[in-house]
Amino acid sequence: MIDSNRVLIFDTTLRDGEQSPGATMTHAEKLEIASMLDEMGVDIIEAGFPIASEGDFKAVSEIARQSRNAVICGLARANPKDIDRCWEAVKNARMPRIHTFIGTSPTHRAMHALSMDEMAERVHDSVTRARNLCDNVQWSSMDATRTEWEFLRRTVEIAIKAGATTVNIPDTVGYTAPVESADLIRRLIAEVPGADEVVFATHCHNDLGMATANSLAAVEGGARQIECTINGLGERAGNTALEEVVMALKVRHDIMPWSTNVDTTRIMNISRRVATVSGFPVQFNKAIVGKNAFAHESGIHQDGMLKNAETFEIMRPADVGLSETSLVMGKHSGRAALRAKLRDLGHDLAENQLNDVFVRFKDLADRKKEVYDEDLVALVHQNDGAEDHVRLQTLRVVCGTAGPAEAEMTLEIGGTGQSVTTSGDGPVDASFNAVKSLFPHEGRLQLYQVHAVTEGTDAQATVSVRLEEDGRIATGMSSDTDTVVASVKAYVNALNRLIVRRTKSAPGSDIKEVSYKDAGE
């Protein structure tokens, strides 16, 4: 049993977060995010769903091998094949965990065509099999908050007797409310034999905007593990946001006397990175990590801040790793200053990485009067497309009120430059038409989103593009002071990812994709 004053943080950004349509990460990106989570003090990292694909299996396996601090967990449905595959993926971790689940609500029983007795037997068999392989087993009752009390109680008892060490009570569709969340955990602990010997966990979705409140209420009821994701990433309206529950416990320790092991000064850095690799920008007014979370425009607010920051800020920007001063770099800044600044922002780059960023920094500084922290972060994460099949070489656009816009473009495709001139309804449309003309594809544009990295007419624009082709979804992101150039780079980035997915799912590929439809909590 853990310290009753400790709350374990179980991060599922790489599993449940990645199930957000368009949020799929590359192998290298998964390893990078896992490393950042491990370093910031997350207790358990759910690294993926190993049975889903060969790619997911390899990612979970490598994360298991590289982990230094966290428990590494894989997800498995309630069947022998899933559980065995999960164990193969996590067994080399310093601290492995198998997480197996089944939907227990009437809706899920009907979907699986199982009676209560049949489902109870499957719970017993799956947990028993997992426990025979691994000492650390988590069992989840998917859609627990819509499961009949007596059946939920029965299945929880079965899971505990079969050897589960953690029992998770998910609010899979964001249906519950805080008072219910607390009461459900409290009642299970009080009435289920053996409940005092295991850790109860909560996994809340945000469909009604109460995921954080429900998770904290569950802790009040006796849960000692919160399942969450960076930025609240996840299916539909997302999951409980890690940064919200961690900072709530830290700031309101007076009424919530529980602590976590998370280094909160790393929150902003990983938030930005997850936003970049997932293609899901953080909304400006998002709690803790949003652009406006520590911004003050109202005269009354500004006056109060000048006199005493605590007047309108309940936490310091530095508490979450946000630099309180932005404008320090310019075209006369040298390599040493850039390295020091990037370290302050949480990026300790190798020499070759620093050289690459320095070249792009100098180019940006020549085009911008002021280079902000956010600009530097965008440069660090800017994809140079060195290994991409399609790359943008040159782009020239003509637009205005006098007629259709034109785009004159040269793409490098498989190492060969190809050029075309096309028109469209505006410069972005014309440029995207040029890409499709040079590299025909069936990808359908699902999302096109632009936001400024910093202020001013010379600000870098960060563009997110999501493409869909035959059920495959890929997201690209890029930044540039020219919005049209950023748009094309993001489009090409998404297209390159789509090419990779197309190749992996082609006949003869060694990567066999499996449906995720039963992998939700």
Q: What is the pLDDT of residues 420-455, one digit of tens each?
A: 999 999 999 999 999 999 999 999 998 898 888 777
For residue 215, the model assigns a pLDDT of: 98
Is the pLDDT higher at 207 or at 389? 207
Question: In this predicted model, what pLDDT tens digit does every residue of 130-151 receive, in sequence order?
Answer: 999 999 999 999 999 999 999 9
Q: Which residues are annotated as a binding site for Mn(2+)?
A: 16, 203, 205, 239
For residue 501, the model assigns a pLDDT of: 64
Amino acid at site 381: H
Q: Provide the total of helices (H) and of strands (E) in the chain, helices listed first.
A: 16, 14
3.50.50.60, 3.30.160.270, 3.40.50.1100, 2.30.300.10: which CATH number matches 390-504?
A: 3.30.160.270
Distance between CA atoms of residues 95 and 38, nearest Å: 12
Percentage of the chain lying above the pLDDT 90 cut: 61
Section 293-309 average pLDDT: 52
Q: Which of 485, 496, 386 is nearest to 439 (CA)?
A: 496
For residue 518, the model assigns a pLDDT of: 56
Sign of the Cα torsion 359, 360, 366, 368 reads negative
For residue 383, the model assigns a pLDDT of: 54
For residue 217, the model assigns a pLDDT of: 98
Distance between CA atoms of residues 86 and 126, nearest Å: 12
For 49-135, list the strands marked E by DSSP: 71-77, 96-103
Q: How confident is the model at residue 502 (pLDDT cuts 50, 70, 90)?
A: low
For residue 299, the model assigns a pLDDT of: 47
pLDDT of 384 strictly over 60: no
Q: How confident is the model at residue 327 (pLDDT cuts 50, 70, 90)?
A: very low
Q: Which residues are annotated as a binding site?
A: 16, 203, 205, 239
For 34-180, list the strands marked E by DSSP: 44-48, 71-77, 96-103, 137-142, 166-171
Is the pLDDT higher at 299 or at 170? 170
Q: How buried is residue 41: exposed, middle or buried, by Cβ count under 10 Å (0-12/13-18/19+)?
A: middle
Question: In this predicted model, what pLDDT tens digit does every residue of 329-362 receive, in sequence order?
Answer: 777 778 887 888 788 777 888 888 888 888 888 8
pLDDT of 302 strictly over 50: no
For residue 344, the model assigns a pLDDT of: 74
3.20.20.70, 2.40.110.10, 3.40.190.10, 3.40.50.620: which CATH number matches 8-278?
A: 3.20.20.70
For residue 231, the model assigns a pLDDT of: 97
Q: Which of 150, 222, 208, 218 is nearest to 180 (CA)?
A: 218
- pTM of the entire structure? 0.79
